[in-house]
Structure 1
Amino acid sequence: METTRVEELIRAGLSGAEVTVTGDGRHFEAVVISAEFAGKSLIQKHRMVLATVQEQIANDELHALSIKKACTPEEW
């Protein structure tokens, strides 16, 4: 899987999110900035991001996604 595809999946699941993904094809790191994170705990933010790629994780297309940073535009 390409980093651009992971970015697309996250953006599709979190409308208006700014997303940067790095990785080696199976293991990825993401920085996600989204207004949808307002009022959410860190764990809730991470779950929201992981939900956007749940299908790819389940079918092992994406082995691991580490969320390096998940914040609102104000927190960024």
Structure 2
Amino acid sequence: MDAETIRKLIEQGLPGAQVDVRGDDGVHFEAVVIHPDFAGRMPLARHRMVYATLGALMGNEIHALALRTHTPDEQRTA
């Protein structure tokens, strides 16, 4: 597994998302995901939305994925 594949999968599952994924060892990754649908949602709900885009890869090909999730407004003020 590689960061670019994960980025594409998240973008396909959350159209319009801005996604940056990093990870060098092929199993541990970190991602920043910016999407307007995160508005009004708690962090756990946001993470579940991202995990849903990756399906069965989570816990298998992707051993760990550290997430930072923001709305566009949150990202602008960060």
Structure-2-length-normalised TM-score: 0.88
**Partner residue, 1:70:** 69
Match of 1:47 in 2: 48
Matches within 5 A, 1:1-76: 1-24=1-24, 25-58=26-59, 60-67=60-67, 69-76=68-75
Give the distance between the partners of 2:16 and 2:37, measured in 1 at CA: 9
Q: What is the CA RMSD across the aligned residues, in angstroms?
A: 1.0
CA distance in 2, matches of 1:52, 1:65: 13
Instruction: List 4+ stretches of structure 1 deviating above 6 A.
Output: none
Count of matched residue pairs: 74
Once the two structures are TM-superposed, the CA of residue 30 in structure 1 deviates from its matched residue by: 0.4
Measure how far apart 1:62 and its partner are: 1.4
Percent identity, aligned pairs only, is 47
Could you tell me which runs of 5 or more consecutive residues in structure 2 were left unpaired when the two chains were aligned. Answer: none
Shift of 1:54: 2.1
TM-score after normalising by structure 1 = 0.90
